[in-house]
Each structure stands twice: as C-alpha cells, then as structure tokens.
C-alpha cells in the first residue's frame, strides 16, 4: 500500500512539472509558472516518442505534448477563456505577436486567426466564453509524429 501511495505521489509530481511548461522549452521552467499551481491533472498518457498531460482549472482544459527529451512541442486549449499566451509561447511569443498583428481581423465579435512562421504554428478560434487554440513548434516534433493528429 505504501509503495502504491509513493508511486501515485511520484507520478503527480512528474505531471505537475509538465503542466505549465513553455513551448520549445524543457520541464524545469514549469515550476516558475504560478498560474498552473491551481490546475488539476485530468489525464496523462505516453508513448515511446511523446507524453500527453491534460490539466483543467475548471474553466479551461489544457493539453500539453512533450517529446522524449522533455521539451513541449505542442499545446492545445479549450474553454471559457484564453490562457496567458505569453506564458505558453515563451521565447516564441514575440514572433507569434508580430504574425498576429500583421493579420488583425477587421470585424468584431467571434475571433479566429492563424499564425505560421518558421518556428511556430498557431490557430486560435472562438469568443470570450468559448475559446479554442492549438500551437506547435515543428522543430521539436518527435520523428514520425504528425502534429495534425493532435488538433
């Protein structure tokens, strides 16, 4: 029984490290992100080439895809609000912002946009109360993995 409790605690600690990591960065950076301290781990899964961690703060479900080197190569979210993209995109945020600003929608209401650069791919859709998004770093994709399967 003690062994089972220890294994559960260890798996929760590992998952807590994954939740909140930034695109293209390793797991060690996740502990500096206080916004993920209040999330609950909903599910985890792994294959030989990547792991999946899903967290839920009650309003947004966030799914992170981590390659075998411990680097987040994609993130997906769905829920009532858009999470802090600066935190998610890390070093790629400025590049994303430049691409987004170059293609600002001219209408109000529902919002959707896509940004594709050499380093990051982003697709966001919805409106306040119902937001979805997906972002990936193609250079960090595991060999043989098609990012389209995660969208």
56-105 confidence digits (pLDDT tens): 888 998 889 999 888 999 999 999 998 889 988 999 999 999 988 887 66
Domains of the chain: total = 1
Global model pTM greater than 0.75:
no
Is residue 147 situated within a structural domain?
Answer: no
Question: pLDDT by residue (tens digit) across 100-131?
Answer: 888 766 555 557 888 999 999 999 998 878 99
Distances, alpha carbon 91 to alpha carbons 2, 95, 124, in Å: 41, 8, 19
Distances, alpha carbon 22 to alpha carbons 26, 41, 50, 75, 107, in Å: 7, 17, 15, 9, 31
Question: Is residue 9 classed as helix, strand or coil in its secondary structure?
Answer: helix
Is residue 148 situated within a structural domain?
Answer: no
Is residue 121 situated within a structural domain?
Answer: yes
Asked whether the beta carbons of 53 and 41 are under 8 A apart, the reply is yes
Which range marks the domain in which residue 34 is found?
Answer: 2-141
Is residue 150 situated within a structural domain?
Answer: no
Is residue 151 situated within a structural domain?
Answer: no
Is residue 93 situated within a structural domain?
Answer: yes
Is residue 149 situated within a structural domain?
Answer: no
Taking 90 as the threshold, does the pLDDT of residue 5 lie above it? no
Is residue 36 situated within a structural domain?
Answer: yes
């Amino acid at each position: 029984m003690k062994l089972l409790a220890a294994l559960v605690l260890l798996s929760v600690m590992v998952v807590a490290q994954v939740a909140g990591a930034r695109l293209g960065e390793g797991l060690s950076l996740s502990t500096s992100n206080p916004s993920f301290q209040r999330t609950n781990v909903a599910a985890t899964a792994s294959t030989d080439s990547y792991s999946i961690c899903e967290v839920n703060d009650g309003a947004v479900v966030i799914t992170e895809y981590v390659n075998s080197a411990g680097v987040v190569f994609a993130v997906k979210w769905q829920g009532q609000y858009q999470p802090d993209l600066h935190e998610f995109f890390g070093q790629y945020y400025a590049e994303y912002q430049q691409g987004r600003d170059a293609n600002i929608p001219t209408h109000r209401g529902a919002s959707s946009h896509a940004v594709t650069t050499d380093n990051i791919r982003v697709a966001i859709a919805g409106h306040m109360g119902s937001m979805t998004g997906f972002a990936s770093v193609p250079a960090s994709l595991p060999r043989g993995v098609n990012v389209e399967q995660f969208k």
